[in-house]
Structures are given as C-alpha cells and as structure tokens.
Structure 1
Amino acid sequence: MSMKQLTEEQQVQLLERLKSRFEKNMHRHPERQWSEVVSKLEAQPEKLHVLHEMERTEGEPDLVTFEEEPEVLHFIDCSKESPKGRRSVCFDRAGLEARKKHQPENTAQDLAAELGVTLLTESEYRNLQKYGPFDQKTSSWIETPSSVRELGGALFCDYRYGQVFVYHNGASSYYGSRGFRGIVTL
C-alpha cells in the first residue's frame, strides 16, 4: 500500500462518514445523487486519501455545488469553524522564515500541499457562505494575489454581522483562531 492509498477499512469508514454528511446537508448539493458521487470517488483513490486527510484534521469535508460550475464536484471543509487541526499557522514558508521568534510549526500553504488541497479563493469562500454560516468565531487564510503577497501581506476571511469580511495581515502572523479551509475537485 502506498502512502496515498487507504486501507479497505479506512475507505469504508470514510465513505460512510461522507455519505452521512452528504445526506444531512442536501442543501449544499441539491442536484446530486450519492451513487454518482461515490462512483467518481472510487475511481480516484488518491482523492479519497485527500478527503481522509481533510477529515483527520477536522475539516468535515462535504460536496458543495457552485452555481457557475454545477457539473464539477467540489469537496470543501464545511466545519462550522476553521478546522482545528489546521490552526495557528502563518500563511506561507516565506512568512514563517521571516519570523525571528515564536515560529509556528507549519504554514497554511505547506500544510495544504501536504493534505493535497488548495486554499479557497475569495470567490469560493463567499460561495461556501451561501451554505453557512462558517467562521463566526475563527478566520481562514485564503489564496492571496501575488501583488499583495509581494508586499508582505496575505488575505483571510471570516463571517461576522451577516456578511463575509476579507482582511489582510502580514503573512508571518498566526493566531490560535486562524486556520484555513481546503478544496479538492473531482
């Protein structure tokens, strides 16, 4: 078994968890049938591994349909708050290395790459909130334009007062209540 494959037991447990979450949250994917989703998942075992890692880090991945891409399967972290297993991270490796003291253990981008996901874009984060609310007590790093990153900044979002807020911070900052949400597409 390679590092990217699950045991049969892990696969069965994961698919049961995903099916249960899928059925409890049909508003996130009203036009989808579980049989269609599971067929695509079983055909791509590497994606099952990614979903397992999202689950392991408490992301609670679920299928989310975007109006502009109804044919695409997007699994996104749907935990109410930024996943617990991915908090207290600065934005990227350059941000981490810029810290002289109190470096966090990891970065959002490095951890996302390890998990096999990408950080949400601002648009994806806003679309996710249609099925929320999410991040009412936490915040999540999002993909940041290179023009902002080149100046030392990075973007994050949260949901307060009935709307999404997009903020900036130094890429080297990290907080116990800031993590990131990932997305994997089939």
Structure 2
Amino acid sequence: MTNQNKELSPEQIEELIRTLKARFENNMDRHEGLEWAKIQAKLEVNTEKLWSLNEMEQTGGEPDVVGHDEKTDTYIFYDCSAESPKGRRSVCYDREALDSRKNHKPENNAMDMATAMGIELLTEDQYRELQKLGDFDRKTSSWVQTPANIRKLGGAIFCDRRYDTVFVYHNGAESYYAARGFRGSLRV
C-alpha cells in the first residue's frame, strides 16, 4: 500500500481507468447488462474510491465490476484475480490475532489491511457469488468475514475452490500461510 494521502495523480487515474475498462471489456460475463460509460462516470467523481481500487490493483487483486445495486445506485467491485491477491498473503485474520502471536508474527493482518485500503473482506456469500463467475483460488485460499461467535472463540474462516467445489474452512485466527490472503469488495 503505497500513497497514504489517498490521492492519485491524474496520470495514475488515467492508467487505472484504462486498466479497469480493459478488464471490464475482457470479462463481460461478470457484469452482463452494465455499461462502462456509467461506471467510469461514477469512478471519476469518487477519487477516494479510485484510490482504493488502485490499492486493490497494486496488491494483485485485479478488481472488476461484478454487479450494480439499483437501490443505492452503486457499482460493486470484487477482487477477481485467479488466486488470492499476491500482495495480501501471509497475513493472519485481525489485529487481535496478530497481537496474540508470541513468535513468528506475520507482517500484517487481513482486517487492518482491508481497512487501510478502504475495502471490506468478502463475506462467505459474496465469495460464493464470485465463484459463480469463474474458478478462483484453485491453489490459494482467502480469509472471509468471520461471524462474531466464531471469532469470539478464537477462530476465523477462509474459503477456496478445489475439486470444482467451494469449500469453507476454519483455522485459528492467528494462523497465516504463504498461500492464504484475502479478497475485498468495494462499492462505488
């Protein structure tokens, strides 16, 4: 996560919009019936959201539009990289988990990273929606938002796709692995 003032230069904005547009056009099955011009207009007036999308992009998430909420007139972006975003792996679940580790602490945790990026971890339901759009996390896994009752007991949940099936697993929230990161969502 690079620029902490949450502003992109005009050149960065132009490059990001060009990247997002190309991804949008190359993956029309993810957002049938949506028009890029309307999405771009929303992006151009939401510079802080553009900054968050750039953070998603810079950490390997390959964000793409996956829906439109007509009630709030917001476009929904998810990380659509084939595997869990590379720049967000080897992290435990949250700050409490990180603080509880005595030895071999990871550098960061998923919840704090997501907050700093201005995004939210996918929920289990959102993760399952994403998997309807393609085959994601076939070699990696991704932390997802964990229900409070599980987290209170020290656990956290993550998901992946194996054997053409989406699996939900549990682990101690303090655990971290080189192949586990997290996917985010953002509304613009």
Shorter-chain TM-score range: over 0.9
2:143 maps to 141
Q: Distance in 1 between matches of 2:185 and 2:33?
A: 20
* Residues 152, 171 of structure 1: 8 Å contact kept: yes
CA-CA distance at 1:163 after TM superposition: 1.3
CA distance in 2, matches of 1:160, 1:68: 33
TM-score (norm 1): 0.96
Which residue is equivalent to 2:186?
184
Normalised to the residue count of structure 2, the TM-score between the two structures is 0.95
CA distance in 2, matches of 1:66, 1:130: 16
Distance in 1, matches of 2:4 and 2:89, equals 28
Alignment counterpart, residue 104 of structure 1, candidates 99, 106, 110: 106
2:94 corresponds to which letter in structure 1? Answer: D
1:25 and 2:27 equivalent? yes
Alpha-carbon distance in 1 for matches of 2:96, 2:49 = 28
Asked if structure 2 preserves the Cα contact closer than 8 Å seen for 1:156 and 1:168, the reply is yes
1:3 corresponds to which residue?
5
User: CA 1:68–1:41 in structure 2 vs 1: closer, same or farther (change >3 Å)?
Assistant: closer
Give the counterpart letter for 1:161 in structure 2. Y
The 1:95–1:2 alpha-carbon spacing in structure 2 relative to 1, beyond 3 Å, is closer
Q: Report the counterpart of residue 124 of structure 1 in structure 2.
A: 126
Which residue identity lines up with residue 15 of structure 1 in the other structure?
Answer: I
* TM-superposed deviation, 1:72: 3.8
Aligned AA (2:32)? P
CA contact (8 A) 1:66 1:127 kept: no
* Rounded Cα–Cα distance in structure 2 between residues aligned with 1:15 and 1:2: 20
What is the number of equivalent residue pairs in this alignment? 186
The alpha-carbon deviation at position 32 of structure 1 amounts to: 0.6
Name the structure 2 match of 1:48. Answer: 50
Task: Look up the SS of the partner of 2:24 in the other structure.
Answer: helix
Q: Secondary structure at the match of 1:156?
A: strand
Alignment identity in percent?
Answer: 56
CA contact (8 A) 1:95 1:171 kept: yes
Amino acid at match of 1:89: V
- CA separation of 1:24 and 1:44: change in aligned 2, threshold 3 A: same
Question: Contact 2:111–2:121 (CA<8 Å) still a contact in 1?
Answer: yes
> Which residue matches 1:174?
176
Q: CA offset at residue 43 of structure 1?
A: 1.3
1:138-176 CA-partner distances (Å, limit 9, x unpaired): 000000000000000000000111111000000000000
Confirm or deny that 1:87 pairs with 2:89. Answer: yes
The root-mean-square deviation of aligned C-alpha atoms, in Å, is 1.8
Structure 2 unmatched ranges of 5 or more:
none
Q: Is the 8 A contact 2:69 2:76 kept in 1?
A: no
Task: Provide structure 1 residue ranges, at least 5 long, that are not aligned to the other structure.
Answer: none
